[in-house]
Amino acid sequence: MCGIVGYLGNGIAQESLIDGLKRLEYRGYDSAGVAFHEGNKFSMARETGRVKNLAEVVQKKSSSSSLGIAHTRWATHGAVTVSNTHPHRSHDGKFVLVHNGVIENFSPLKKFLKGKGIQFTSETDSEVLCNLIAFHYAESPKSEERFVDAVRLALPQCRGAYGIAVLCLDKSDVLIGARRGSPLVVGLGDDANFIASDASAFVGRAKEAVFLNDGELAILRGRDFRITTLEGQEAQAVSHPVDQISEEVELGDFDSYMEKEIFEQPTALKNTLRGRFGDDGTTSKLGGLEGHEDELRDLDRIIFVACGTARHACMVGEYLIERLARVPVEVEHASEFRYRNSPNAGKSLVIAVSQSGETLDTLEAVREAKTKGLLTLGITNVVGSSLARETDGGVYQRVGPEIGVASTKAFSSQACLCAMLGLALGRMRDLSPMDGQAVVEALNGLPDLVAHVLQQAEQIRELAVKYSKAEHLLFLGRQSLYPVALEGALKLKEISYAHAEGYPAAELKHGPIALINPDCPCIFMVEGTELSAKTIANMQEVKARKGQVLAIAPEEIEIPDEAADDIFRLPVAHEVVRPILANLPLQLFAYHFARLRGLDVDKPRNLAKSVTVE
């Protein structure tokens, strides 16, 4: 993971770099550092903890350099210490480097360099790469291209993933970036050019962004730049306007981004839905799928690939798409799909879902699917992200930046888009116009229903207070509410550090019921269908064993007093929107549960918003 940013321009680098790091902090926040080219030396500052710690130190030191690189770290190799914090400096002081990714063969490379007498000061793979560049530089004949040549010689020796920015002491007007597996983008501004992990790092400072492809090098020299392959051939530089890539994000009156993003959901969903229904009101119209109608009509199966919350949204999609379109759907952990030798007979469509569009496991799954000749579509929130660029077509979520590490509004919009996809595919097949119309009406009514549920946030806060001492919780639901149970458990554990598990409700008696005692609350999602009687029976099994039950249930379902200690009611709704509604109280529950423990819900320990390593 990690975020990197580099600055080369006419102005002072310091402010742009610190500002860029703050915007990249979602990629990791274990430690942060910066290095400036000061003519005859590099000045550096590195601090553990958040970027604000670094910012205080940098402000005091105050550099007027116009060339620098910076990094915010999510630790992979080596503990969270100052010496493992980037930038890393080569043993001879000639190079500084920031790196996002993992150099898998760093051990043999380190051994080789140690054999040449090079000493190391950190446990990181990144310091090895920095020294490898220094090694090749020292071995190369003097020339104008010596710095570029050293980078070009070092990188092919590395296995794994990297996005790097590197400076050479002998070149006070050159900044080099390179990528393989980890994203990198060049920002072009009036006064300065940038290299960064993503365009948010230079929003407001650069006008155009040029995304690098794997195996490419960006060479920024003075006010010029060029993109080449590692072998030295010129590569095409396609630029995109930066203002269409990312937006400013204000916290407003909310005390965390997670809270803000939960309450933004009515508006976010309106944006997801806007203009995406056919004129006859019986189907959806997803622009990104245009041109693929014949393939979609003729599909044998859909394979979703995603991670974490996005995968749970896909699992909701699995139930909805099979129900609406009668197309077989599989949902794969992206990291597993990539290494499985799954038989791809027939006409399969791979749909990758990722809020950030930069999750490495998901991107690699897409690349694997493309190698197998499969059609790939992407559902992502970030315009211009790697996923958007690498898939054959796709749909944007349009929910605005999601900053909180815990994904909330992204889940709702992903599940909503899966329902819209199911509707479109269903109408291409057997779904009647009348059933299609009912789904369209349900989806159009979703933002208001979401607003209605969120108005009852206080009741959820009180329930969170009641259950806040629990260290183990079970989340249970059937059918499309099973993935909601998984999502509720994930949300709770990632921000509150309490242990939580999600199960299909009927699985309870196949093992988890052994955990039931008064200190292990069970949160049941009750369906609005005939299955609800079975779920209520499962609740009674818990009560019979002195467990505590909180039921999240639609208004129309009667729940006997003895079956639940507490009930949170959801409005009457069509089955396609019920999973999204049922998830809202779980988001709020996790949020309050964690806040009651005094935790930072936006930046939970050990996590990062965007997971760009395997």
Residues that bind ligand M6R (CB under 6 A): 307-310, 354-356, 359, 362, 405-407, 490, 494, 610-611
User: From the CB of 307, what's the least distance to ligand M6R, in Å?
Assistant: 4
- Residue 492, H or E segment: helix 481-496
| Distance (Å, whole) CA 510 – CA 234 | 61
User: From the CB of 592, what's the least distance to ligand M6R, in Å?
Assistant: 16
117: left (phi over 0), alpha (psi -120 to 50) or beta: left
Residues 6+ apart with CB under 8 A from 451: 266
User: From the CB of 614, what's the least distance to ligand M6R, in Å?
Assistant: 13
With CA atoms as reference, report the closest residue to 353 among 290, 300, 288. 288
**Residue 212 or 403 having the CB closest to ligand M6R:** 403
User: From the CB of 144, what's the least distance to ligand M6R, in Å?
Assistant: 41
User: From the CB of 355, what's the least distance to ligand M6R, in Å?
Assistant: 3
**Residue 289 or 405 having the CB closest to ligand M6R:** 405
List Cα–Cα distances, 130 to 110, 158, 166, in angstroms. Answer: 11, 11, 8
**Residue 323 or 333 having the CB closest to ligand M6R:** 333
**Residue 87 or 308 having the CB closest to ligand M6R:** 308
**Residue 88 or 260 having the CB closest to ligand M6R:** 260
User: From the CB of 325, what's the least distance to ligand M6R, in Å?
Assistant: 24
Burial class of residue 57, CB neighbours in 10 A (0-12, 13-18, 19+): middle
Tokens for 270?
Answer: 């309106």
| Distance (Å, whole) CA 388 – CA 78 | 33
User: From the CB of 354, what's the least distance to ligand M6R, in Å?
Assistant: 3
**Residue 226 or 605 having the CB closest to ligand M6R:** 605
User: From the CB of 525, what's the least distance to ligand M6R, in Å?
Assistant: 18
Tokens for 536?
Answer: 């209520």
Q: Taking the mean position of all CA atoms in its chain, how far away is CA 66?
A: 32
User: From the CB of 182, what's the least distance to ligand M6R, in Å?
Assistant: 14
DSSP string covering 242-270? GGGT------TT-SSHHHHHHHTHHHHHH
What distance, in Å, lies between the first and last C-alpha atoms of the chain? Answer: 9
- Whether residue 512 is preceded by a cis peptide bond, meaning omega within 30 degrees of 0, is no
Catalytic residue selected from 22, 110, 409, 609: 609
With CA atoms as reference, report the closest residue to 611 among 350, 251, 306. 306
Is 418 noted as a catalytic residue in this protein? no
Burial class of residue 555, CB neighbours in 10 A (0-12, 13-18, 19+): exposed
Tokens for 34?
Answer: 């910066």
Burial class of residue 155, CB neighbours in 10 A (0-12, 13-18, 19+): buried
Catalytic residue selected from 2, 130, 418, 522: 2
User: From the CB of 85, what's the least distance to ligand M6R, in Å?
Assistant: 23
Is 603 noted as a catalytic residue in this protein? no
Total residues found in the chain within this entry = 614
CB atoms under 10 Å from CB of 438, counted, come to: 16
**Residue 106 or 593 having the CB closest to ligand M6R:** 593
Tokens for 341?
Answer: 């030798």
- How would you classify the pairing of strands 549-554 and 566-570? parallel
Tokens for 499?
Answer: 């242990």
**H and E: helices and strands count for the chain:** 18, 24
**Residue 125 or 487 having the CB closest to ligand M6R:** 487
**Residue 17 or 489 having the CB closest to ligand M6R:** 489
Residue of minimal Cβ distance to ligand M6R: 308
With CA atoms as reference, report the closest residue to 247 among 189, 286, 204. 204
**Residue 33 or 502 having the CB closest to ligand M6R:** 502
Lookup result for tokens 């079970």: 474
- How would you classify the pairing of strands 67-73 and 42-48? unpaired
* 278 SS3 class: coil
* 292 SS3 class: coil
- How would you classify the pairing of strands 522-525 and 472-477? parallel
Give the residue numbers marked as catalytic: 2, 609
